[in-house]
Every structure is written in structure tokens, then in C-alpha cells.
Amino acid sequence: DNPLDHLNTANLGAAEQQKAAQLAGFQFEVRYRPGWTNGNADALSRPTEDGADRCGEVGYVASEVVRACVHAFAPVTKNL
């Protein structure tokens, strides 16, 4: 059972449809990797050697990158 199966059949709200439309211009593939094979994500959830929790920082940076990409590719509207 693949947890990503619902991506193609999900009922999206208006805001989600708008974001999906923006992403439709990109060529990408979403693949499911079971947790035990997804070492990169596992490393993000583990504490650092100094014990500091940096997961919040990673999430903040990721959200800023996504926001910047969405704004960079958002359609430009002109006032006529």
C-alpha cells in the first residue's frame, strides 16, 4: 500500500488547485520510498552531536525556498 496513491485522486480545495496548476509546468516525479530506505529524511529527524534540534530550521528553510519558487513562477498580472 503506497501512501502517495491519494495524490492523483485527492479532492483539492481552490488554493490547492492553484498550487497544483503552478507545479504542473514542471517536470518531476514523486516516488515513495519506505522509511527504512529513506536515509536522507531519517538523518533530518535525528539529533545532532551537540544535542541541538535543528529540524525546525530545516523546515523553515524549506518553506522559504518553496515560497520563493512559487513567487518566482507566479503569473504576472498587469493593470490595464
**Residue pLDDT, tens place only, 10-63:** 787 888 888 888 888 888 787 777 766 666 665 556 666 665 555 555 555 566
25: CB partners within 8 A, 6+ apart: 73
Distance CA 3, CA 12 (A): 17
pLDDT value at residue 16: 83
pTM: 0.36
Output the CA angle 41-74-15, nearest 5 degrees.
70
pLDDT value at residue 26: 84
